[in-house]
């Protein structure tokens, strides 16, 4: 028979400080893997200049990562593959280091290969980080991949831009990331494995479900549809900014600074981090509508700012879209995964990311081919038009599915009101 402290899992008060730190290792490892794929995002304007990519070339370089990611997520969406999450994260870290090695070469084939390897790494880590977090800390770990995606994106973009500004080249960021990931790989293979073993021996963490909910509870279809639409809208807007805004800023403002070119992306990612935490205590219905409203404001402001060459408007638009991305992606993941056990959580998180990223690939590629003749600005405007239709579909679904919310929303609201 388990003791009370064991029954509460690793979240119990008896856990040592070292053990508590070890529970964070899988989440930190995933964040670092995500950071790696964002390092080259900050360098896209310089790759565009050196390799003559153009709007279509930029879309291909950006989308090759997402294509590899989606294929990996499809494979990893099987619950049986999420039963060894730390091993998956170790493999993900190793693949990310290989991706850094390819990106160091600097040629177009190496750039595409490095981006594809980063996609495989993030795909391996997405569901595995979610499964490990739910096992280790219970319900609080359900949206860890949403947080890791945003924080990793901020860290990677800053690393790529700042390292390039300081060194005058494109390789320093990859070297730093590879070294940090190698250290994290060692921590994963030692302390991370032990932490997960202790969690399984101690029993379920507080709030961790032991079995998935019934497959089709009332309102589940609308909740799933709303969750997947929220995720697709969130990463569609993020992809628009990451793929096209840096080069559009460079061309419209005539600046060669990669840090200035990345400012829109950084504003979006910082706002996404704030949006995640600012909206996490609100009712799910309010979070969905806040994301819809911020997107409806941000898209036209960003488009007008780019067309007019007005950087302040561009940054305000990116901030609004970032808030929508952070809150929308997080609540979407909660809507599609509520009540799932750790292995099913990992599989659903992979499927959710697959839909979100896969859809954003389609948006970026279609927009680049439709508007690519007019350069990055035309492709960006086309993407904004596609996303306006997508967010309208999300709003209609939210109106129809007024009950497609999370269990406990009403109780949480009543506690907050009290």
Task: Give the pLDDT confidence score for residue 93 in this predicted structure.
Answer: 93
The arithmetic mean of pLDDT across residues 239-260, rounded, is 80
- Predicted confidence at residue 354, as pLDDT, reads 85
pLDDT band at 387 (very low <50, low <70, confident <90, very high): very high
DSSP H or E segment with residue 169: none
Cα–Cα distance, 35 to 4 (Å, whole number)? 39
Q: Decide if 284 contacts 335 (C-beta within 8 A).
A: yes
Residue 322: band (very low, low, confident or very high) from pLDDT cuts 50, 70, 90? very high
Looking at residue 205, the DSSP 8-state letter turns out to be P
> What pLDDT, in 10s, does the model give residues 52-97?
887 788 888 888 988 898 899 888 877 787 778 888 889 999 999 9
Cβ neighbours of residue 206 under 8 Å, at least 6 residues apart?
A: 8, 9, 11, 137, 138, 139
Of 73 and 283, the one with more pLDDT: 73
pLDDT of 99 strictly over 90: yes
pLDDT at 310: 87
In whole angstroms, what is the distance from residue 47 CA to residue 49 CA? 5
In tens, the pLDDT along 188-222 reads 888 656 665 565 555 444 444 444 433 444 447 78
Domain 4-417 has CATH 1.10.645.10: no
Q: What mean pLDDT do residues 89-108 have? A: 94
**Residue 100 pLDDT > 90:** yes
Q: DSSP secondary-structure letter at 79?
A: G
pLDDT digits (tens, 9 = 90+) for 28-63: 888 999 999 999 988 888 888 888 887 788 888 888
pLDDT of residue 294: 94
d(CA 54, CA 244): 10
pLDDT more than 70, % of the chain: 77
Residue 293 has pLDDT above 90, yes or no: yes
Alpha-carbon separation of residue 136 from 27, 132, 250, 369 (angstroms): 10, 6, 44, 45
Please state, in angstroms and as integers, the Cα–Cα distance from residue 267 to each residue in 85, 102, 317, following that order: 32, 28, 9
Q: Is the pLDDT of residue 243 over 60?
A: yes
User: Which range in 5-19, 91-105, 147-161, 234-248 is most confidently predicted, on average pLDDT?
Assistant: 91-105
Instruction: Report pLDDT for 198.
Output: 60
In the chain, where the domains are located: 4-417
pLDDT band at 21 (very low <50, low <70, confident <90, very high): low
Separation of CA 383 from chain center: 19
Q: Report the chain's mean pLDDT, rounded to a whole number.
A: 79
Q: What is the pLDDT of residue 338?
A: 76
Is the per-residue pLDDT at 6 higher than 80? no
Going by pLDDT thresholds of 50, 70 and 90, the confidence category of residue 101 is very high
Confidence class for position 286, pLDDT limits 50, 70, 90: confident
Buried b vs exposed e over 350-368: b needs ≥16 C-beta within 10 Å? bbbbbbbbbbbbebbbebb
Asked if the model's pLDDT at residue 379 lies above 60, the reply is: yes
pLDDT-above-90 percentage for the chain: 26
Sign, Cα dihedral of 123, 125, 129, 135 = positive
Reply yes or no on whether the pLDDT at 412 is more than 50: no
**Amino acid 143: pLDDT:** 63
- Least confident among 129-133, 158-162, 294-298, 348-352: 129-133
Closest by CA to 275, choosing from 329, 327, 318, is 327
pLDDT higher than 80, residue 358? yes
User: According to the model, what pLDDT value does residue 12 have?
Assistant: 45
Residue 88: what pLDDT?
Answer: 87
Q: State the pLDDT at residue 85.
A: 81
pLDDT band (50, 70, 90) for residue 317: very high
Per-residue pLDDT at 373 exceeds 80: no
106 in the Ramachandran plot: left (φ > 0), alpha (ψ -120 to 50) or beta?
left
């Amino acid at each position: 028979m388990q003791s009370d402290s064991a029954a509460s899992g690793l979240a119990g008060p008896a856990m040592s400080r070292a053990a508590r730190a070890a529970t964070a290792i899988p989440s930190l490892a995933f964040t670092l893997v995500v950071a790696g794929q964002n390092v080259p995002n900050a360098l896209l304007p310089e790759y565009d200049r050196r390799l003559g990519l153009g709007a279509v070339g930029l879309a291909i370089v950006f989308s090759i990562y997402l294509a590899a990611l989606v294929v990996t997520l499809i494979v990893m969406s099987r619950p049986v593959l999420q039963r060894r999450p730390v091993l998956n994260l170790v493999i993900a870290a190793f693949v990310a280091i290989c991706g850094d090695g390819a990106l160091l070469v600097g040629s177009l084939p190496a750039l595409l290969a490095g981006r594809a390897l980063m996609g495989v790494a993030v795909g391996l880590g997405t569901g595995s980080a979610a499964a490990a977090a739910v096992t280790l800390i219970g319900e609080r770990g359900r949206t860890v991949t949403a947080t890791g995606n945003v924080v990793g994106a901020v860290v990677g973009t800053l690393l790529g831009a700042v390292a390039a500004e300081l060194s005058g080249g494109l390789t320093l960021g990859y070297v730093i990331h590879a070294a940090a990931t190698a250290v994290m790989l060692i921590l994963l293979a030692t302390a991370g494995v032990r932490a997960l073993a202790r969690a399984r021996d101690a029993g379920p963490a507080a709030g961790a479900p032991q079995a998935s909910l019934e497959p089709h509870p009332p309102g589940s279809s609308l909740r799933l549809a709303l969750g997947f639409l929220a995720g697709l809208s969130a990463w569609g807007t993020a992809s628009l900014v990451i793929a096209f805004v840096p080069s559009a800023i460079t061309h419209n403002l005539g600046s060669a600074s990669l840090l200035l070119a990345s400012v829109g992306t950084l504003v979006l990612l910082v706002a996404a981090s704030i949006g995640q935490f600012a909206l996490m205590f609100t009712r799910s219905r309010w979070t969905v509508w806040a994301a819809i409203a911020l997107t409806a404001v941000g898209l036209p402001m960003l488009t007008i700012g780019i067309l007019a060459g007005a950087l302040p408007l561009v940054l305000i638009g990116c901030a609004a879209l970032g808030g929508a991305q952070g809150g929308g992606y997080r609540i979407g993941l909660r809507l599609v995964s509520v009540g799932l056990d750790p292995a099913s959580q990992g599989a659903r998180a992979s499927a959710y990311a697959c839909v979100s990223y896969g859809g954003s690939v389609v948006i970026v590629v279609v927009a680049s081919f439709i508007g690519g003749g007019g350069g990055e600005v035309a492709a960006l405007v086309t993407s904004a038009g596609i996303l306006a239709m997508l967010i309208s579909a999300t709003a209609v679904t939210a109106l129809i599915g007024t009950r497609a919310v999370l269990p406990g929303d009403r109780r949480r609201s009543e506690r907050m009101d009290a």
